[in-house]
Amino acid sequence: MDRLSREAGEMFIAGRTRRLTRCPAGRDSGGRMSTPSLADAIAETLFSREQIESKIAELAAAIADDFADKNPLVVGILSGCYPFIADLTRALDMKLEVDFMACSSYGGSTKSSGVVRILKDLNTPIEGRHVLIVEDIIDTGLTLKYLVENLQTRHPASISICTLLDKHEARSENVEVRYRGFVCPNKFVVGYGLDYDGQFRNLPYIGVLKPEVYQS
């Protein structure tokens, strides 16, 4: 390579280096837009990953004692229950079956609309079966009351309720919870399956969402 070509190459590399390092705010050194951490939207952690794991082991032990020889149908209420029901059923060394329902009374809001819709029904008949409903959180109890009444018309042998979080301060309907993980303060919580407008389900812990996130 002659001198002129070498100098031109050095000038090109130097100019490219300057362009790469002079990134505008909000971009990384490769020029890509940076993404805020999900944790930045959390005001406080309520229940850590370790606390959740310990509580699930405790719940599983109680459920196993009650349903060991009953082959229960474990019904997860989508979408928030998915990490809880997965971890709970893995902790149950017993015969069981799993099915899912999806009900909605929220939409994109932080408060119940008061209108319950079944978005996905069971694939499994429950007549004569012992049914264990698994919820991520119970607050007003409106959705769960409607769901239990609906399932009772299908003549199961029994219906029991297990919830990871019980926001009892917000309760407006009378529902009997047999297996309860944590009592939850009347705050807007996300993580470990719980969401706000479809986000934050993948956090490994449960935390309180900053009000500016959902009030903006």
Q: How far apart are CA 209 and CA 44, in angstroms?
A: 8
- Give strand ranges (E) for the chain: 42-47, 73-78, 97-104, 117-120, 130-138, 158-166, 179-183, 189-190, 206-209
Question: Mapping DSSP to helix (H, G, I), strand (E, B) and coil, where does residue 8 land?
Answer: helix
Radius of gyration of the chain, Cα coordinates, nearest whole angstrom:
25
The amino acid sitting at 135 is E
Identified catalytic residue from 28, 40, 66, 139: 139
Q: How far apart are CA 210 and CA 216, in angstroms?
A: 11
* 121 given a catalytic annotation: no
CA distances from 36 to 4, 26, 40, 188 (A): 46, 9, 7, 20
Q: Which residues participate in catalysis according to the annotation?
A: 139
